[in-house]
Amino acid sequence: MSTIPSEDECIRILLDEGVHSRVVSHVCTVMRVAEAIAMRCGADLTLVRAGALLHDLGRGRTHGIGHGVVGAQRARELGLPEALVLIVQKHVGAGITPENAIELGLPPLDYMPSTMEERIVCHADNLVDDDRVITSQEAYLDFIGKGLEEQGGRMLEMHRTLSDACGVDIDELTPGIDLKGRGPCSKYL
């Protein structure tokens, strides 16, 4: 599959990979947040939707820090476009530097989101706790509670960068998002 999969195809991929329905609910919520940001910022909406839905592809095999690496590997095996693979690979936390990757036992790659679409999915994931949308401040406090001050600071910087690109604070966009919406995700929300 060298094209970006549809919402239906993404859900099928997740279920085929053994991703739990609770995780599917999470990724569907992340997709709603990510598409609201993408529409406001003028990002590639098709790529963002698929990236948001597939960002936790690796959770069919592990729930550890390496789920992004595992998911990216599986996405490559499935023949998904590289732009989509990189969203899956770079979505964890607020990005992981090569130095942090080594410390975490991950392959020494740069897992820092660099494209608009990578940043949007990464940040939307930070703004969704299970299937509940939270503010950037709540996400920051979650990082701090886990002892991840540096990552929390990076997340806030990503929030500012995306808010500037969108012309509005992302926290002002999220309360108006229709989480139920339409399409295949509606049965998971």
The pTM assigned to this predicted structure is: 0.94
Q: What is the mean pLDDT of residues 110-116?
A: 93
In the DSSP assignment, the letter for residue 177 is: -
In the DSSP assignment, the letter for residue 95 is: B
- Judge contact between 86 and 57, C-beta under 8 A: no
pLDDT tier at 27, thresholds 50, 70, 90: very high
In angstroms, the CA 49 to CA 144 distance is 29
Token pair 């569907």: residue: 28
pLDDT at 99: 86
Residue 100 has pLDDT above 60, yes or no: yes
Q: What is the mean pLDDT of residues 119-131?
A: 95
pLDDT tier at 2, thresholds 50, 70, 90: low
Q: What is the mean pLDDT of residues 38-59?
A: 96
Average per-residue pLDDT in the chain? 92
pLDDT at 9: 96
pLDDT at 20: 93
Which amino acid does the sequence have at 128?
A: V
Residue 157 has pLDDT above 80, yes or no: yes
Give the dihedral of Cα atoms 108, 111, 114, 117; nearest 10 deg: 150
In angstroms, the CA 140 to CA 126 distance is 9
pLDDT digits (tens, 9 = 90+) for 5-15: 999 999 999 99
Q: What is the mean pLDDT of residues 85-114?
A: 89
Compare 182 and 54 and report the one with higher pLDDT: 54
Tell me the three-class secondary structure of 105-150, residue by residue: CCCCCCECCCCHHHHHHHHHHHCEECCEECCHHHHHHHHHHCCCHH
Q: What is the mean pLDDT of residues 18-24?
A: 94
For the chain, the residue count is: 189
pLDDT tier at 84, thresholds 50, 70, 90: very high
CATH class of this structure's domain 7-176: mainly alpha
**Residue 98: exposure state from Cβ atoms within 10 A (0-12, 13-18, ≥19):** middle
Name 154's Cβ contacts closer than 8 Å, sequence gap at least 6: 93, 94, 95
pLDDT at 103: 85
Least confident stretch, 43-52, 154-163, 175-184: 175-184
